[in-house]
Chains A and B, each alone.
Chain A
Amino acid sequence: MSRTRRMGRVGGLAAPAVAAAPFAVLWVLQMRSAHDPLTARVRLEMAIWMAVFGTPWMIAAWLLWRAWWRQAGARLSSLDGPGWLLAAAAATLPAGRRDWGAAMTAELAQVQDPGARWRFAAGCARAAVFPPGGNRAAVGVTAALAVAAVAATVLATGAALPAGRVFAPALVGLVGGLATLAVARSRRVGRTWPGPVAAGLALAGNAASVVATIYYLAEHPSYRQLRGPGLGVSLPPVTAVVLAVVLAGCLWLTLRPPRWLLPDRHARRFGVGMALALVAGFVLPSRRDLGAMTLDVGILDYLLLALPVVLLAGSAAAAAVGRSFRAGLWACAWATVLGAPLLIAVWLAEALRWYQRRGQLLLDGEGGFGVGGNLVGANLGDAIWWTLIVLVLWALPLGVLGAAAGSARARRRRAREQAEPAPIA
């Protein structure tokens, strides 16, 4: 068997194994951290849940590996370590600098000594990841403004919003750092503009999430815990940093998308539609359950069942219309980066409505007016972690599966069209 085929097969086995590893580790940790001895049935139930969440990831990892290997992996299989390093770094070059990536790669072939190859590749990788581009003065000014903004945020939150002393500086620092990087890597920002609709949705979602979070931190910085004594912090430091990373990352990916994400207009349009469908699908059951006098309340069913279906169906449709696996994949990516901030903002807004009408948490209806105490702050952690859990852990691999299904259908249609005899003139 050739080295290329062997690497392809090994990668095809390793990718699902790597995807399954976190779920296996989580199961082991759950077994060890249980206070009471667990019965065999409980252990089996937990293993089944891990398998339910892990299997789509394993299949998605295999599909992604196969798609990447067909396109680039076979070509890269002949490279050594320095070659891989340089190829990965050259892939990050802006469109106007790609010739330089090819130039550095070609020069690496002239370097024979292994140590010299690593040094040459590392130097070229640094030049590729940080190419000269932006006006140095502009980069310096942007960086200085970012530092000043972080300092001002630290002072402002210390005086006016102590509960936000981790979240606000983290978010401002990340956004400032990414802005500095954007100015440093590109002379013309407009080249990677995703369009007014996507950009507007990203800005609106992020702004709404930030405003909602600040409201919760100002009005409900803590809450009375339902289980256990004492008060819970509405936005603990770890959650605050995670929220800042999610918002800054989604904003960056939307306003400065990588060059491989930008060209496919179908994917972007489907992504925008899917993001809006995710939000509408969230609000509708929330309002429906709020008006219904039933005990079965909360948004959990929608999150675990309906939300992934939106990504699965939307990615399949995008792949079928765009006639490629990539179109479906990038539609799912757009839906995720646009939808995550919107979902967090809508969750926080709906949660206030729920608490005012029923005194319950939005996720699963816990609480109630008879329970007593203020539980509103608990919605902040729910909104952040459950959005991430559902979108990233559950819906994202289903989007990959949808893209594969849609592209398979498109391939079959294309094969049928090619097999049909040409009409006689």
Chain B
Amino acid sequence: MVVTRTRCPSAQTTAVVLALAEEPATWRYGYELCQHLGLKAGSMYPILMRLADRGLLETAWERDAPAGRPPRHLYRLTGPGRVLAGRLAAEAPVRPTPAHGGVGRRPRLEGT
């Protein structure tokens, strides 16, 4: 269920949404997003939780995790999330520069 909000997202939330919108069909990892945007985990995960609560973020678990480690959580924007990303991109044409420059490696959900 999408919760319509009239309040503008924070700058950090905007950066996360726009980063996810760069390749909207690609699943992303939480730690990879932290490194890509230079956000701390204490800021990133509350943002991801709120986006998921509002139906703007889709989550999934890795299907074929390597032996010896737990499956990782994956994120990508839902349809309403992409709509929000388009609105935010139109309102803020100058994108925030990733902290480490360039785009990090984008993992994919195995099997897709």
Q: From known contacts A110-B29, A110-B31, A132-B50, infer whether A104 and B41 are also in contact, taking CB-CB under 8 Å.
A: yes
- Contact check, B42 vs A103: say whether CB atoms are below 8 A apart: no
When chains A and B are docked, how far (Å) is the Cα of A247 from the Cα of B30?
41
**In the assembled complex, how far is the CB of residue B99 from the closest CB belonging to chain A, in whole angstroms?**
14
Give the contact-size bracket for chain B. Answer: 20 to 34
- Contact check, B40 vs A100: say whether CB atoms are below 8 A apart: no
- Contact check, B49 vs A106: say whether CB atoms are below 8 A apart: no
When chains A and B are docked, how far (Å) is the Cα of A103 from the Cα of B44?
12
For A82-108 the 0/1 string (1 means CB < 8 A from B) is 000000000000000101101111110
Residue A109 at the B interface, CB < 8 A? yes
- Contact check, B45 vs A122: say whether CB atoms are below 8 A apart: no
- Contact check, A127 vs B73: say whether CB atoms are below 8 A apart: no
Among A100, A102, A105, A107, the residue within 8 A (CB) of B29 is A107
CB interface residues, B 54-99, toward A, < 8 Å: 59, 69-73
When chains A and B are docked, how far (Å) is the Cα of A326 from the Cα of B49?
32
Among B45, B48, B59, B72, the residue within 8 A (CB) of A110 is B72
Q: From known contacts A103-B30, A104-B30, A123-B40, infer whether A131 and B46 are also in contact, taking CB-CB under 8 Å.
A: yes
When chains A and B are docked, how far (Å) is the Cα of A122 from the Cα of B45?
12
Q: From known contacts A119-B40, A127-B42, infer whether A107 and B49 are also in contact, taking CB-CB under 8 Å.
A: no
A103 — which chain B residues lie within 8 A by C-beta? 30, 45, 59, 72-73
A252 — which chain B residues lie within 8 A by C-beta? none
A104 — which chain B residues lie within 8 A by C-beta? 30, 41, 45
Residue in chain A with minimal CB distance to B32 = A110
Give the contact-size bracket for chain A. Answer: 20 to 34
Q: From known contacts A100-B49, A132-B53, infer whether A107 and B30 are also in contact, taking CB-CB under 8 Å.
A: yes
A111 — which chain B residues lie within 8 A by C-beta? 31
Q: From known contacts A104-B41, A110-B31, A120-B41, infer whether A132 and B70 are also in contact, taking CB-CB under 8 Å.
A: no
Q: From known contacts A107-B29, A123-B43, A124-B41, infer whether A97 and B70 are also in contact, taking CB-CB under 8 Å.
A: no
- Contact check, B49 vs A102: say whether CB atoms are below 8 A apart: no
> Secondary structure of the A side of the interface?
helix
B29 — which chain A residues lie within 8 A by C-beta? 107, 110
B34 — which chain A residues lie within 8 A by C-beta? 120
Q: From known contacts A100-B49, A103-B30, A132-B53, infer whether A109 and B43 are also in contact, taking CB-CB under 8 Å.
A: no
Q: Which of B41, B46, B49, B59 neighbours the largest number of chain A CB atoms within 10 Å of its CB?
A: B41
- Contact check, A106 vs B72: say whether CB atoms are below 8 A apart: yes
Residue in chain B with minimal CB distance to A187 = B53
When chains A and B are docked, how far (Å) is the Cα of A121 from the Cα of B34?
13
**In the assembled complex, how far is the CB of residue B66 from the closest CB belonging to chain A, in whole angstroms?**
10
A191 — which chain B residues lie within 8 A by C-beta? none
Residue A5 at the B interface, CB < 8 A? no
Residue in chain B with minimal CB distance to A121 = B41
Among B42, B48, B71, the residue within 8 A (CB) of A123 is B42
Residue A414 at the B interface, CB < 8 A? no
When chains A and B are docked, how far (Å) is the Cα of A105 from the Cα of B71?
10
Q: Which of A103, A119, A121, A126 neighbours the largest number of chain B CB atoms within 10 Å of its CB?
A: A103
Q: From known contacts A104-B30, A107-B30, A122-B42, infer whether A132 and B49 are also in contact, taking CB-CB under 8 Å.
A: yes
When chains A and B are docked, how far (Å) is the Cα of A395 from the Cα of B56?
51
A132 — which chain B residues lie within 8 A by C-beta? 46, 49-50, 53
- Contact check, B42 vs A107: say whether CB atoms are below 8 A apart: no
B45 — which chain A residues lie within 8 A by C-beta? 100, 103-104, 123-124, 127
When chains A and B are docked, how far (Å) is the Cα of A102 from the Cα of B44?
15
When chains A and B are docked, how far (Å) is the Cα of A394 from the Cα of B70?
43
- Contact check, B42 vs A109: say whether CB atoms are below 8 A apart: no
B30 — which chain A residues lie within 8 A by C-beta? 103-104, 107
**In the assembled complex, how far is the CB of residue B2 from the closest CB belonging to chain A, in whole angstroms?**
16
- Contact check, B40 vs A106: say whether CB atoms are below 8 A apart: no
Residue in chain B with minimal CB distance to A97 = B49
Residue in chain A with minimal CB distance to B53 = A132
When chains A and B are docked, how far (Å) is the Cα of A123 from the Cα of B47?
13
When chains A and B are docked, how far (Å) is the Cα of A386 from the Cα of B53?
48
Residue in chain B with minimal CB distance to A110 = B31
CB interface residues, B 3-52, toward A, < 8 Å: 29-31, 34, 40-46, 48-50
When chains A and B are docked, how far (Å) is the Cα of A103 from the Cα of B48?
11
- Contact check, B71 vs A127: say whether CB atoms are below 8 A apart: no
**In the assembled complex, how far is the CB of residue A246 from the closest CB belonging to chain B, in whole angstroms?**
32
**In the assembled complex, how far is the CB of residue A128 from the closest CB belonging to chain B, in whole angstroms?**
8
- Contact check, B70 vs A106: say whether CB atoms are below 8 A apart: yes
**In the assembled complex, how far is the CB of residue B102 from the closest CB belonging to chain A, in whole angstroms?**
19
**In the assembled complex, how far is the CB of residue A135 from the closest CB belonging to chain B, in whole angstroms?**
11
Excluding A97-B49, A120-B41, A123-B43, 12 further A-B contacts by CB distance (< 8 Å) are A100-B49, A103-B30, A104-B30, A106-B70, A107-B29, A107-B31, A121-B41, A123-B44, A124-B45, A125-B42, A127-B45, A127-B49
List 14 A-B residue pairs with CB atoms under 8 Å apart, sorted by A's residue number: A99-B73, A100-B49, A100-B73, A102-B73, A104-B30, A105-B70, A106-B72, A107-B41, A119-B41, A120-B31, A120-B41, A123-B43, A124-B41, A127-B49
